[in-house]
């Protein structure tokens, strides 16, 4: 809905992102940066001269940050079903009636210098968000499996531990991450073969995530310059600024609503 102030060309604040969405974004950012740093250290352990115990420590830290990352991501997925209008799947995923037309309209406007304003994600942004969520979820799922194969930690660690020891109580009691002393060689080899596709997907999706993050940053900067809607600060305050009501006016002007 367009307000009188917007119609007169005054820039007014609209609530774009609720608190949950903003908290998810910043927690996710911190976790991803931490996971990237720890992941690079693990991948380059030999160059850094990391010994066996140090590698286990790095993986343990990676896992604990990964738990926070996975829980935060799971909550965001849930919030997309029950959250505020701009947080819902219907305005996040690049699907639905009219999406293709809105994408064409947005691209035409962007190229002509008259970029349409959106309260939530613009059509190109929805493509980026979908790609990011897909890669993040891939990282979370494969990471949880690898957590079990590397450190025997939840949610799959107990099953993996029983697998590599053939359920032998004595071996289970002495099983330690990074050590093969208590494992059955044949079962351990089977587990490592099972692990291979997960680590391959985890590693390549890591590289894909880095590329997507860089593209995301470039896209945000360009959108901030072209749209002038306070896109960056909106992820802190929750509010975007518009001189005209956005195309997807899902909320009234912000006022006291957060």
Omega prior to 155 cis, within 30 of 0: yes
pLDDT in tens, 216-231: 999 888 888 887 778 8
- Cβ-contact 129, 24 below 8 angstroms: no
* 23 pLDDT higher than 90: yes
Average pLDDT value for residue range 21-48: 94
Mean pLDDT score of the chain: 89
Name the phi and psi angles at 253, rounded to 5. -50, 150
* 214 pLDDT higher than 50: yes
CATH number 1.20.950.20 given to 4-242: yes
pLDDT in tens, 70-98: 999 999 999 999 999 999 999 999 998 88
Average pLDDT value for residue range 144-172: 96
* Domain range list for the chain: 4-242
Q: Which helix (H) or strand (E) holds 98?
A: none
C-alpha neighbours within 13 Å on the C-beta side of residue 129:
24
> In a 3-state reduction of DSSP, which class is residue 122?
coil
């Amino acid at each position: 809905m367009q307000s009188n102030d917007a119609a007169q060309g005054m820039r007014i604040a609209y609530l774009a992102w609720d608190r949950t969405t903003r908290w998810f974004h910043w927690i996710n950012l911190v976790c991803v940066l931490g996971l990237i740093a720890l992941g690079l250290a693990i991948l380059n352990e030999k160059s850094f001269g990391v010994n066996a115990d140090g590698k286990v420590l790095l993986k343990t830290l990676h896992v604990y940050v990964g738990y926070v990352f996975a829980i935060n991501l799971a909550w965001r997925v849930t919030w997309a079903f029950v959250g505020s209008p701009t947080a819902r799947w219907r305005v996040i995923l690049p699907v639905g009636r009219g999406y293709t037309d809105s994408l064409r309209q947005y691209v035409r406007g962007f190229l002509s210098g008259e970029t349409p304003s959106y309260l939530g994600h613009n059509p190109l942004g929805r493509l980026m968000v979908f790609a990011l969520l897909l890669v993040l979820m891939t990282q979370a799922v494969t990471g949880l499996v690898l957590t079990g194969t590397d450190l025997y930690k939840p949610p799959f660690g107990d099953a993996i531990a029983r697998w590599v020891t053939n359920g032998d109580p004595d071996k289970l009691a002495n099983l330690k991450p990074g050590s093969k002393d208590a494992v059955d060689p044949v079962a351990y080899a089977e587990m490592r073969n099972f692990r291979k596709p997960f680590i391959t997907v985890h590693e390549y999706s890591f590289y894909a995530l880095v590329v997507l993050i860089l593209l995301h940053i470039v896209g945000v900067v360009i959108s901030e310059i072209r749209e002038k809607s306070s896109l960056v600060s909106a992820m802190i305050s929750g509010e975007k600024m518009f001189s005209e009501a956005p195309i997807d006016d899902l909320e009234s002007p912000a006022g006291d609503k957060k």
